[in-house]
Amino acid sequence: MKKLFLIALALSMLHEVAAADSSCPSLVITGHPSYPPVAWGSDSEIVGAAPEMVANIARTLGVKEVTSRNFGSWEQAQAAAKNGEADIIFGIYKNDERMKWLDYVEPAFMMDPVSVVVRRGEGFAYAKWDDLKGRKGVTNTGESFGNKFDSFMASSLMVARTQGVEKAFEALMDKSAEYLIIGLYPGKIKAKQLGDAAKVEFLPQEIDSFGMYVAFSKKSKCNALKARFAESIKKEVAEGRIKPLLDAAQKRAEQ
């Protein structure tokens, strides 16, 4: 009986791979062009830990051609997923608005702490979101920090948006803003790349920590792969494969 079950399971898996091969021969994947080590732009591609994970899973599921595409900005990457130009977007937080046009793959493949960055020596007491009130902040266009903080930021804070992470750092350094909101990992790498690492500090209390997801465009022809992607990501997380990908990607990003 057990042998028959295993044979049936193997045949089922082969059938699903074959189905993927016929219904989804190719995938266009995209992500944030300035979010190392999770993802960053390299010419026309998005590289990093997340695209490597997604491409490996897709090929295992029988997708013959996986194209990583850099759409130029995080805002444009989301637009590409929304209109179906990209099949998959990775390294994206979940919120109600995005769920209208994305099918999220559960579980999140990692948790991403979001920090408050200030000019070195110009820090302020920050223990809760209310402590940001009355101060000028900045963040990148297209960033979301979950439903609760997005709502709080819109109603209670003065946070400007810039076209690109580099310009957000510029706004902080030229004193157009008192603080910058950015993910801890990309923030530290980007500060180092810009030569600002010694000029800024990351406040010890984080805004929050958010799940980072892989999501299919609701207009993608490949949505049937969502369940198998979920199984694969769950296995990647359970077996501890994400951290080595992030560590290797961080070394590449810092070169």
pLDDT tens digit sequence for 96-147: 999 999 999 999 999 999 999 999 999 999 999 999 999 999 999 999 999 9
CB of 249 closer than 8 Å to CB of 255: no
User: Quick one: pLDDT band at residue 29, thresholds 50, 70, 90?
Assistant: very high
> What SS3 state is found at 201?
strand
Q: Is the pLDDT of residue 10 over 80?
A: no
Model pLDDT, residue 3: 52
Fold of 2-111+211-254: D-Maltodextrin-Binding Protein; domain 2 (3.40.190)
- The average pLDDT across 187-207 equals 96
User: Quick one: pLDDT band at residue 81, thresholds 50, 70, 90?
Assistant: very high
> What are the angstrom distances between the C-alpha of 100 and each of 82, 85, 218?
9, 16, 8
**Residue whose entry in the numeric block shows the structure tokens 């007491």:** 125
Q: Is the pLDDT of residue 182 over 80?
A: yes
**What is the spatial distance between Cα 237 and Cα 242, in angstroms, rounded to a whole number?**
6
The bridge status of strand 200-202 relative to strand 88-92 is unpaired
Query: Domains of the chain: which residue ranges?
Result: 2-111+211-254, 112-209
Token pair of 119 as six digits: 């000019």
Domains 2-111+211-254 and 112-209 equal at CATH topology level:
yes
Q: What is the average pLDDT score of the chain?
A: 92
> What SS3 state is found at 116?
strand
* CATH class belonging to 112-209: alpha beta
Q: Is the pLDDT of residue 216 over 50?
A: yes
> What are the angstrom distances between the C-alpha of 55 and each of 48, 60, 67, 140?
11, 9, 8, 26
Strand partners, 68: 29
pTM, rounded to two decimals: 0.85
Model pLDDT, residue 254: 85
Percentage of residues of the chain with pLDDT beyond 70? 91
CB of 109 closer than 8 Å to CB of 233: yes
Q: What is the pLDDT of residues 221-254, one digit of tens each?
A: 999 999 999 999 999 999 999 999 999 999 999 8
